[in-house]
């Protein structure tokens, strides 16, 4: 009998190792798909610069090629590249933050949106627009900084409220939802009180978009997003344990409250920093963790990177459509994201029979 058990043990270990390997490879494949889509996205656009010429311009970086026009270089490297990188980095951070927040709060409806972070950021931006912005250009940073801090502030308040009530998950989510409503009310009030010009600018911010991507901003965001994602991935085991319930996690030696606080704050910083540059981009933070949970299960070691990559894929695809569909006019990216993501998500929901949310 014991020998038999041992055998089974061996077998299980083998199955586990195989599954892990498969998932690791799949993660790599997904990464390659994102890279391929990025390459595709960089080669299409509103100008007449075709795919072959764009690819030559990219190849010219690695190989000596002298027949690449200056125009191609400018379009590919100064206009398309920053935007594509911003789409990827934004998608990654929203996806990762969504997966972590859903994991840590064990609730399928949680996203930066439901926790009031987006409303907080939007409220900060609206305040800057109505009360503080002078002219074109220079006022831009006031809006970003305001958006960032209001987003953080929201999380601080939400967390503080939940601490008063013993830090239960429900209180935290409800406090987030309530704060979201409060900020929406402030935004409505500001919209109500503002003039035409400002109103338009607030609406603009609420729609979000990547068209104003600048390479400097992307360079600020890349280290933030990469480092925070790596730190958050280190919490994967804790999140997995917490998925089985707080008591289980505690009995396994996890300081549940501390992990929860750390994860929430790190993912808030993650979303707040990208939202500050792009405006409110909804839906991705909510849906890409779900899509991934349906596809590869809820092991956070894979779920977090997958969710990030899926977010990147979704946002990059949407943005590419938004800038090429009726070019040169652009369609707001949020519109495309929902049109693209919702049917796909619903399809997965209907097709998968098993209960996917544990």
Residue 323 in the binding site for another protein (CB under 8 A): yes
By beta-carbon proximity to another protein, the closer residue of 46 and 178 is 46
Residue 49 in the binding site for another protein (CB under 8 A): yes
Do you know the residue count of the chain? 358
> Of the ranges 110-118, 204-212, 266-274, 283-291, which one interacts with another protein (CB under 8 A)?
204-212
By beta-carbon proximity to another protein, the closer residue of 209 and 282 is 209
By beta-carbon proximity to another protein, the closer residue of 46 and 269 is 46
Least Cα distance to 105 among 113, 96, 115 occurs for 115
Instruction: Quote the CA–CA distance of 332 and 203 in Å, as a whole number.
Output: 11
Q: State the Rg of the chain over Cα.
A: 22
Site size for another protein (CB under 8 A): 38
| Options 33, 178, 199, 220; binder of another protein; rule CB under 8 A | 199
By beta-carbon proximity to another protein, the closer residue of 2 and 195 is 195
Instruction: Quote the CA–CA distance of 101 and 249 in Å, as a whole number.
Output: 17
Query: In the numeric block, which tokens belong to residue 56?
Result: 């030559």
Residue 39 in the binding site for another protein (CB under 8 A): no
Instruction: Quote the CA–CA distance of 27 and 95 in Å, as a whole number.
Output: 14
By beta-carbon proximity to another protein, the closer residue of 215 and 261 is 215
| Options 37, 42, 75, 314; binder of another protein; rule CB under 8 A | 75
By beta-carbon proximity to another protein, the closer residue of 33 and 215 is 215
Instruction: Quote the CA–CA distance of 269 and 93 in Å, as a whole number.
Output: 10
Residue 137 in the binding site for another protein (CB under 8 A): yes
Minimal distance, residue 36 CB to another protein, in Å = 21
Residue 258 in the binding site for another protein (CB under 8 A): no
| Options 52, 66, 196, 355; binder of another protein; rule CB under 8 A | 196
Least Cα distance to 148 among 278, 280, 282, 273 occurs for 273
CB-hemisphere CA count at 13 Å for 289?
A: 28
Residue 295 in the binding site for another protein (CB under 8 A): no
Residue 328 in the binding site for another protein (CB under 8 A): yes
Instruction: Quote the CA–CA distance of 202 and 151 in Å, as a whole number.
Output: 16
By beta-carbon proximity to another protein, the closer residue of 211 and 357 is 211
Instruction: Quote the CA–CA distance of 321 and 204 in Å, as a whole number.
Output: 19
DSSP secondary structure of 119-186: HHHHHHHHHIIIII--STGGGHHHHHHHHHHHHHHHHHHHHHHHHHTTT-HHHHHHHHHHHHHHHHHH
Residue 201 in the binding site for another protein (CB under 8 A): yes
Minimal distance, residue 46 CB to another protein, in Å = 3
Minimal distance, residue 333 CB to another protein, in Å = 10
Q: How far apart are the first and last CA of the chain?
A: 34
Instruction: State the residues that interact with another protein by CB under 8 A.
Output: 45-49, 70-71, 74-75, 78-80, 134-138, 191-197, 199, 201, 204, 209, 211-212, 214-215, 323, 326-330
């Amino acid at each position: 009998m014991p020998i038999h058990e041992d055998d089974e043990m061996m077998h299980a270990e083998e199955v586990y190792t195989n599954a892990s390997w498969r998932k690791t490879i799949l993660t790599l494949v997904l990464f390659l798909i994102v890279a391929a889509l990025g390459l595709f996205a960089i080669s299409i656009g509103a100008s007449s610069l075709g795919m072959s010429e764009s690819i030559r311009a990219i190849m010219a970086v690695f190989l000596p090629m002298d027949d690449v026009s200056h125009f191609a270089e400018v379009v590919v490297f100064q206009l398309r590249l920053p935007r594509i990188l911003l789409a990827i980095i934004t998608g990654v951070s929203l996806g990762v933050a969504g997966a972590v927040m859903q994991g840590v709060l064990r609730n399928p409806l949680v996203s930066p949106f439901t926790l009031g972070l987006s409303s907080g950021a939007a409220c900060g931006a609206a305040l800057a627009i109505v009360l503080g912005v002078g002219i074109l250009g220079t006022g831009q940073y006031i809006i970003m900084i305001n958006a960032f801090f209001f987003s953080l502030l929201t999380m601080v308040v939400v967390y503080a409220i939940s601490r008063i009530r013993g830090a239960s998950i429900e209180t935290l989510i409800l406090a987030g939802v309530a704060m979201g409503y409060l900020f929406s009310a402030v935004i409505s009030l500001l919209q109500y009180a503002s003039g035409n010009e400002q109103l338009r600018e607030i609406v603009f911010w609420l729609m979000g978009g990547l068209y104003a991507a600048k390479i400097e901003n992307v360079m600020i965001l890349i280290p933030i997003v990469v480092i925070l994602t790596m730190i958050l991935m280190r919490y994967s085991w804790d999140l997995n344990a917490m998925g089985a319930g707080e008591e289980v996690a505690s009995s396994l030696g996890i300081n549940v409250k501390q992990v929860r606080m750390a994860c929430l704050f790190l993912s808030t910083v993650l979303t707040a920093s990208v939202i500050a540059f792009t405006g409110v981009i909804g839906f991705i933070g909510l849906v890409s963790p779900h899509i991934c949970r349906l596809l590869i299960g809820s092991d956070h070691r894979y779920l977090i990177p997958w969710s990030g990559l899926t977010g990147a894929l979704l946002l990059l695809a949407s943005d590419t459509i938004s800038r090429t569909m009726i070019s040169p006019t652009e369609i707001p990216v949020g519109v495309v994201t929902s049109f693209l993501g919702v049917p796909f998500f619903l399809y997965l929901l209907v097709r998968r029979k098993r209960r996917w949310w544990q």
